[in-house]
Every structure is written in structure tokens, then in C-alpha cells.
Structure 1
Amino acid sequence: MVRHNKKDPNRSATDSIAYANEVLGVQISKRIAQRRLKRVGLFARRPAKKPLFKKKHRKAILEFMRSHEHWTKEDWSRILWSDETKFNLFNPDGGHLIRRPIRMRYKSRYVRSTVKFGGGSLMAWGSSS
């Protein structure tokens, strides 16, 4: 059961019970499954969120860095830097739990990628030079 949860961190204690009943032929309660997973260090946690970062994004950043490699301080002083952030008006996006070992928060298999979508949020924009 523990090996099964380590293979797929998105499985819940209820999924573990179903696996134990069907595959292992063992009847266990939800509480026993939770305790067993906690004992080996697999606690239920919300996954860390970070923007989806594809290969094309890495390529674009590298291209930008190479094209501006020899810029002087004066060149950079003519740039206007801006950023935006999203505030949810109602509930936060998601509420999904995963099982992960301690100190593995940002390991790629325990992180849930995020993408933008419309509705129920407020966007704020700011800039500096």
C-alpha cells in the first residue's frame, strides 16, 4: 500500500483502502490507512503551485538573454519593467491534497502546475523603471 502511494502521490487514503481490499485482499479502515501512510512519512499536504514552464518558455528566455548580453547600464535604464498579479475574489483555486515525504515540497512530482483562466478574480498591474 505504501509503495502504491509513493508511485502516485495523488492517491488518497480512500484509494489506498480500495487497493488494499482489491489487490492485497486485506480489509482495513480509513484511519488505519492514514496512520500507516503517516508512519512512513507520507502526510497529506496541499501541493505547491508554480506557473507552467514549458520548453518554449525556456528557449525564449535563453534567446532574450543572448540578445541582451552586451547591454550597458544606460541601455537597461531605458527599460520599463512591469508585472501583474491575480487576486481571487471568492475561493482559492483548488483544494487538492497529495501525500509527500518531508522536505520534498518542490520536487516536480509533488508540485501541481497552474494555468490562468477567467472569472472570479481581479488582476492588478504595476511597473517601475
Structure 2
Amino acid sequence: MDFRGLLQGLKNWTLGEIACAAGLVTLSAGAGYCISRLLRRERAPPDHTQPPQVATVQSIIKKYKTFCTVKNLRGRGRKPKVTPVLARRIVREVKKNPRITTKAILMNLGSAGGNISRQTVQRTLHTAGFHGRRPRRTPLLQIRHTKARLAFANAHRDKEEDFWSSVLWSDETKIELFGHNDVAYILCKKGEAFNPKNTIPTVKHGGGNLMFWGCFSAGGQGNLITVNGTMKKEQYIKILNNNIRQSAEKLGLGYQWTFQHDNDPKHSKSGEVMVSRQKH
């Protein structure tokens, strides 16, 4: 029997065990070997520790005969409480409701969850790529809004970078002074932040608020002004007349550029298109 393979995997061995293994290799070169004889000869290992017991050496030899290695084998130790089937059930609960808590997941699993803790559920979700995140706030869109945005994106997806560098974007926004500041968390994977299930739809209402109008381009920010009261079509046209050309000059858009605003009713006049080419 070749015991030279016993010298593999010595990383976790004591010096006494290494000495025993080396002695076994030496003895096995002859007619045979004797564990007790080897241990008597190795009473004082180099690290001054006690040599291993006969049973320890026997188990090493038996392991090598069976597996041809003395390294740690896979599958040793306590088996995991979360089986692959249970892990898939936990992930399904999150996919159905990203806002679910680990406590609610355990309640839904019932007896199938066994005796696992909330921390175990959390580790299982982390392994599957799910982490707690604050949901993104996005405008509450109807189906027609989504279709219109997709149509706009498809119509302009082949535009060159030079075209987008010459676009002046305009919009107004209302900022709530007193709104809902509740902190909510969701469980989602990387890249799924704007999935509709993982967002909080927002509408323009609340306590006191301020309205601003502004514009920007690839070159930076244009004018930003405060809107007094409710913006109507006449006030919007006045804002454009006083700020659009000035902002375009400040941003260096040149003599030919595109003015872009959204499909708000007050932005349209006599059926004008929303994307208009400005020439000076």
C-alpha cells in the first residue's frame, strides 16, 4: 500500500501527525508497519505536543484507504435547514410581494418552514440576490401614458448623439413642503429598482407646496424660476418668452436646436406638436 498520498493535505495537521505520517511512509517501504511502534518512536514531536492516539492514526489510514485522500471531504458537518425546495418557496413569496417581511414569510410557510429563524430567511434571500432597498418614487402613469412614452422612445431611438446634444428639455415640478415621509423597504434584485412592483406611485397633492419651472440640456442647467400660483397657458407662454432663448444662448446650443416639453394640456396650443424645431 502506498502511503505517500498521506502527505497530501497536511495544511491542517499538527507536527505530531505529520511525523506519524512520515514514519508510516518509511515503515511501509519495508515488510509492514506498526502504529504503536511508530507512536513509541515519535514520543517527542518537534512542536513538543503529544503524539496522536492510535485511533487517530487508524482513522487517517482508513480514510486514505477509502477515499485516497486525507483532505476534508465535502458534505461534512451539519446539514442546512433550508433545502433547495424551501429556498425556492421563500423566493416565490418575495416575487409575489416585494414588500413582504421575513416574519410574514415564516407565517406563510407554516409547518413547511420547519424550525428556521428570520435571520435564516434573510440569509437565504441574500444568497438568491434579494436585498432590502428603499422603493423608487415614480409618477403614477396610466396605460396611455406608458404607451405614449414607449412610442416616443421608439421614434427617437436611432437619433445620433449630436441630436440629443442640441435638445433643450423643459418641465415644471411641484415640491411638497409637508408630505408622507414614511420609510418603506422592498426586497429586490440588482437592476429591478424601477419594476412597477418595486416603486411607489406619486401624485401631485399634499400640504403646502412650491412650483418651479426649469430647463436643461446636455450642456447643463438653464434658467430655474419660481411659479406663483397655478400655472395656466398664458403664464406658461410668458415664461417661455422670457427664458427659453436666454437659456439656449447660455448653454451654447447654437442657431438650430430642439425644444422639448411634455404633453401637458397647457403646453399645447391649437394642436401644435410637442417637439418643435427652433431656428434663429
* CA deviation vs aligned residue, 1:64-105 (integer Å, no higher than 9, x gap): xxxxxxxxxxxxxxxxx661330445763x311111011111
Structure 1 gaps, min length 5: 63-80
**Residue aligned with 2:172, SS:** strand
1:13 to 72, 86, 102: 102
Is 1:28 paired with 2:133?
no
**Are the structure 2 counterparts of residues 88 and 24 from structure 1 closer, same or farther at C-alpha, using a change threshold of 3 Å?**
farther
For residues 17 and 98 of structure 1, the distance between their equivalents in structure 2, rounded to whole angstroms, comes to: 17
User: Over residues 19-62 of structure 1, what are the superposed CA-to-partner deviations in whole Å (9 max), with x where a residue is unaligned?
Assistant: 23x25241222211111111111101111111101135468889
RMSD: 2.7
Aligned to 1:95, the other structure's residue is in SS state coil
Q: Which residue of 1 aligns with 2:211?
A: 124
**Structure-1-length-normalised TM-score:** 0.66
Give the aligned partner of residue 131 of structure 2. 43
* Distance change in 2, residues 1:38/1:88 (3 Å): farther
* Paired letter, 1:44: G
Identical counterparts, % of pairs: 24
Partners of 2:136 and 2:194 within 8 A in 1: yes
State the one-letter code of the partner of 1:13. T
Q: Could you tell me whether the CA contact under 8 Å between 2:140 and 2:203 is conserved in 1?
A: yes
SS of 1:50's partner is: strand
Gaps in structure 2 of 5+ consecutive residues: 1-89, 152-169, 214-238, 245-280
1:4 to 73, 78, 93: 93
Stretches of 4+ moved more than 6 A in 1? 59-62
- Give the length in aligned residue pairs: 108
Aligned-partner residue type, residue 124 of structure 1 = M
**Bigger helix fraction:** 2
Larger radius of gyration: 2
Aligned-partner Cα distance in 2 for 1:56–1:3? 31
Q: Aligned partners of 2:128, 2:121: CA distance in 1, in Å? A: 11
The 5-angstrom pairing of residues 107-118 of structure 1 reads 107-118=195-206
Structure number with the bigger relative contact order (C-alpha 8 A, sep ≥ 6) is 1
